[in-house]
Copies of this chain bind each other. A is one copy, B any other.
Amino acid sequence: MTKGRLEAFTDGVLAIVITIMVLELKVPHGGEFEDLKGLLPVFGSYVLSFIYLAIYWNNHHHMMQTVKHVTGKILWANMHLLFWLSLVPFVTGWMGENHFTTASVFLYGVVLLFAAIAYFILQSLIISSHGKEFLLAKALGKDLKGKISPVLYIIGIFGAFLNIWISGAMYILVAIMWLLPDTRIENALKNEHK
C-alpha cells in the first residue's frame, strides 16, 4: 500500500484541527482594545495548541519520510492519533474560556498525554513492520525525548491539583523540548543518500 493518501488525509485533518481552533476566538461585541482583554487567555491557549499541533505535523512528516510501506494496522494507529488530536480544539477552548481552572488544565494534559501515547504506538508499529535495518529505528536511537514527554505530561496533569502553574510549566517545557532543532531523521536521511 502506498503512503500518499495516509499523508494527504493526515494533512487534511491536522490543517482543519489547527484552523478551527481559531473559531474559539469568538469576535467580541465591542470594537475597542479593552474588549480584547477577555480573549487573552483563549489566545494564549491557542498559541500553545498551535505549536503542539505544528510539532505533531512536523514529526509526522519526518517520520513518514522514512516509511516504505503502510499496513492496515498503521492506518488505524494513525486514525487513533488523529482522534486525540481532534479533541485539542475542544480542550483548548475550555481551558481558555474558563481561565485555566484545575479541571480544564488537567483535561488538556490528558488529551496531550493520549496523543503522545498514540504517536508512540504509531511509531512502534511502523518500526516493527520495517525490519532491523530501518532508518527510523536507527535515527531515533533510544528516543529519549519520546520517553521523557509522557513523564512531564503526567507531572503536569496531576500537578494541576496543586497549582496550575506546575502544569503550565510542564506543557511549555515539552513544547520547547520538541521545538529545539532535532535533526536525527534529517541527518539519517542525508547519510543514507550518500
Contact = CB atoms under 8 A, between A and B. Distances in A.
Nearest to A1: B65
Interface of A: 1-2, 5-9, 11-20, 22-25, 27-33, 35-36, 47, 50, 54, 57-58, 61-62, 64-65, 71-73, 75-76, 79, 82-83, 86-87, 89-90, 93-94, 97-99, 101, 103-104, 107, 179, 181-183, 186, 189
A25 B90 contact: yes
21 contacts: A1-B186, A5-B11, A5-B61, A7-B8, A9-B11, A9-B15, A12-B12, A15-B16, A16-B19, A16-B20, A19-B86, A22-B86, A22-B89, A22-B90, A23-B23, A29-B97, A31-B94, A33-B103, A50-B83, A54-B76, A71-B186
A98 B15 CA distance: 29
A contact patch SS: helix
Q: Indicate how many identical chains form the complex.
A: 4
Contacts of A94: 27-28, 31
Given A12-B12, A75-B61, A101-B32, A23 B20 contact: yes
Given A1-B189, A8-B8, A57-B79, 16 more contacts: A1-B186, A2-B65, A5-B7, A5-B11, A9-B57, A12-B14, A12-B15, A16-B16, A20-B22, A31-B97, A31-B98, A32-B103, A72-B181, A72-B182, A72-B186, A73-B181
